[in-house]
Amino acid sequence: MHFEVAHDFPAARARVVDLLSDPDFQTGLDLPDLSRPEVVDHEVDGTARVLRLRYEYVGQLDPVARKLLSGRRLTWIQELRLDTATFEGTLSFSAEADPGRLNGAASVVIDGDGSGARMDGGGARSQRRIAGDLHVRVPVVGGTAERRIVPGLVRRLDVEAAALTKAL
């Protein structure tokens, strides 16, 4: 199922990228229905930033989801890749137990909003746009599961954006 979100920030693109890829910022977030994440990997290589986090879903699961999990915990790896030269990247996620059944990927673009933002990342404002798809590849219930998961995913991105705005 496709999803798209956009968030405006009161800071330059470079500052937004720095915070989004900061393990301390991410592990300090309280996101709805999720445990605080565990840092799996954090890399800075030239202009590339990579942050891999492990989350566990701790909210209420419907009976069908509980049955599909067969008593296992619902954990997944989320990877954010951003480039400080282009201010573009990807956000991907996949279930640890069965990545082929639950996964997704999105493009991430951080633009200046035209209010004095410079191409070098300077300026006073920026906007993050995320567009991607979530897939639940389970016969019969996959589409229903996607329609239930995507609103929670978007809500958590909104909460992250609000915390980012506050931190900026």
Q: For residue 117, name the pLDDT band (cuts at 50, 70, 90).
A: very low
d(CA 148, CA 158): 17
Residues 6+ apart with CB under 8 A from 15: 168
Domain limits at 147? 2-167
pLDDT at 49 over 90: yes
Q: What is the CATH number of the domain that holds 62?
A: 3.30.530.20
Lowest mean pLDDT among 56-60, 98-102, 118-122: 118-122
* H/E run at residue 91: strand 88-95
Q: For residue 105, name the pLDDT band (cuts at 50, 70, 90).
A: very high
Nearest residue to 132 via CA among 83, 162, 75, 92: 92
Q: For residue 89, name the pLDDT band (cuts at 50, 70, 90).
A: very high
The pTM (predicted TM-score) of the whole model is: 0.87
pLDDT value for 113: 60
pLDDT value for 66: 61
Contact 104, 134 (CB under 8 A): yes
Give me the number of domains the chain comprises. 1
Contact 123, 112 (CB under 8 A): yes
pLDDT value for 137: 86
- Radius of gyration (Cα) for the chain, nearest Å? 16
pLDDT at 15 over 80: yes
pLDDT at 5 over 90: yes
